[in-house]
Structure 1
Amino acid sequence: MSSTDIKLEVCVDSIASALAAAEGGASRIELCSALTEGGLTPSPGTLKTLKELITIPIYCMLRPRRGNDFIYSNAEIEAILLDLDILRSHGADGFVFGALTEQRSIDVEKCQRVLERTGGMPLTFHRAFDLTNPQLMHENVNIIKELGFKRLLSSGFRVSAIEGSDNLAQLIAKHRDIIIMPGAGISVSNLDELLTITKCVEFHASAQAAAGAITNNGGVASMDCDVTMGKQDVSPYATTDVNVVRRMVTIAMAAK
């Protein structure tokens, strides 16, 4: 892969999905748990196992709980910093984090604490950015850059990146010294349009397909039973599909 290739980061919450992403040609993994909750901090065991199985970089989500506020107490930040230390010791290549104030602005102090703890490792500011004021988007990107984040994951303040593609295009055109990475709702069917509009150099997708049987790389089967196990009873578990990843990579290569 050359430096001019458009890179695909795949967000995953299972070993099977990470293996499929790597096999399909993804450039990087965003490792989480509980993608149905928007992605939470992954387990060290999952990270360590994957570091022995795949060679592409793995960035770990730092998010201790669900919720779309991204307002963290000092105790929660302490937990995030401990998670960071543990995940780094097990081979994390980078991290994904974002914190906001009650006014939905960037929480500079809490972001600084996390950035200092990374010791210079790359940090992505995630879609907490999409909850900030769109009218202040350039000012907020400047704050994120000045803090030291290397990437910003955003849907352009909309439900999906394709809906927010105009905002993303503006951000990407203006801020060349940080990677603005479109993410949310990106699929094979809308990827070419998104790449054409935004001129992005990286994008972020789950590349999922609904799981119904165990796959040869350890996927999860759907079990029929009378025991309730929570949200999965109404929301089928989905895993990254290696063929979807391949098709996205092919589209990106053609668009470069």
Structure 2
Amino acid sequence: MFLEVIAKNLEDVIEINKSNASRIELCDKLEFGGYTPDYNLIKEACELSKIPVNVIVRHSHIDFYSSEEEKLEILKDIEFIKTTKANGIVVGVLNKDNTIDLEFLKKVIAMKGDLKITFHKAFDFVNDFEKEYEKLANLKIDNVLTSGGENISKGFEILKVLTSKNLYTKVLIGGGVTLDNIDIVKSISDQVHIGTAARIDNTFETAIDLEKIEKIFRG
């Protein structure tokens, strides 16, 4: 099983490194779905962690249709992240018709260097999951983070379809993963992402709970 766990600060990074987690997703402002963290935090977290760290690159909580200004901020962030020990970036931008903004994504790919790339949960808002997933695979995007729509309990069938295609882009199931549904999730994909499920009281206001991460592993 490959397990990615969200961290919001250095304390989280330290705790997650004590677990069986495979990778960390580093985020700020999780109440808005995750923003690019402070540059100092990115640098320190990536130096400290023995587990690979992927950094979210995002600035707008309104929607996933980024302005030209935000796109420039995203590219600036990527240039900085390339100077750190980060493993990868987590990014996702849509067009107004809920298709993936391929033009901008290609700019990101051209700039990212050796960084791995995950297309984040903007994917949950596309109109045609199969078609957009194939676009990501054709661009050799490493992962797509998705719950098969805005509600994971309604997304399992979509997730089954996507994983059955066995394309280049790995389906990383995340967003609503809990101890109650982990067995179903793991029956679809061994690539799993958790956020609040790794916390003491299932909110981002509390600390990492190593026992819960272990339970996710055991199912």
TM-score for both structures, normalised by structure 2: 0.92
Tell me the secondary structure at the aligned position of residue 18 of structure 2.
Answer: helix
Using the TM superposition, give the Cα deviation of residue 14 of structure 1 relative to its aligned residue in structure 2, in angstroms: 1.7
Question: What is the CA–CA distance in structure 2 between the aligned matches of 1:246 and 1:89, rounded to whole Å?
Answer: 33
- Are 1:33 and 1:41, in contact at CA under 8 Å, matched by a contact in 2? yes
Does structure 1 residue 209 correspond to structure 2 residue 200?
yes
> Match of 1:228?
none
Structure having greater relative contact order (Cα 8 Å, sep ≥ 6): 1
Question: What is the CA–CA distance in structure 1 between the aligned matches of 2:46 and 2:54, rounded to whole Å?
Answer: 11
For 1:235-246, what aligned pairs fall within 5 Å after superposition?
Answer: 237-246=205-214
Structure 1, unpaired ranges of 5+: 1-5, 212-234, 252-256
Structure 2, unpaired ranges of 5+: none
> Match of 2:101?
107
Question: What is the CA–CA distance in structure 1 between the aligned matches of 2:160 and 2:5, rounded to whole Å?
Answer: 21
Question: What is the CA–CA distance in structure 1 between the aligned matches of 2:82 and 2:200, rounded to whole Å?
Answer: 30
- Are 2:3 and 2:192, in contact at CA under 8 Å, matched by a contact in 1? yes
Two-structure CA RMSD over aligned residues (Å): 1.7
1:115-174 CA distance string (max 9 Å, x none): 1110242100011111011xx2111111111223111110101323x4311110111011
Number of equivalenced pairs? 217
Pair 1:189–1:122, CA change in 2 (3 A): same
Question: What is the CA–CA distance in structure 2 between the aligned matches of 1:110 and 1:11, rounded to whole Å?
Answer: 25
State the identity %.
28
Question: What is the CA–CA distance in structure 2 between the aligned matches of 1:20 and 1:250, rounded to whole Å?
Answer: 19
Question: What is the CA–CA distance in structure 1 between the aligned matches of 2:109 and 2:207, rounded to whole Å?
Answer: 31
1:178-208 CA distance string (max 9 Å, x none): 2001101111222112212x1x121100112
- Are 1:115 and 1:148, in contact at CA under 8 Å, matched by a contact in 2? no
- Are 2:140 and 2:169, in contact at CA under 8 Å, matched by a contact in 1? no
- Are 2:125 and 2:150, in contact at CA under 8 Å, matched by a contact in 1? no
For 1:69-84, what aligned pairs fall within 5 Å after superposition?
Answer: 69-84=63-78
Larger radius of gyration: 1
> Match of 2:13?
18
TM-score for both structures, normalised by structure 1: 0.80
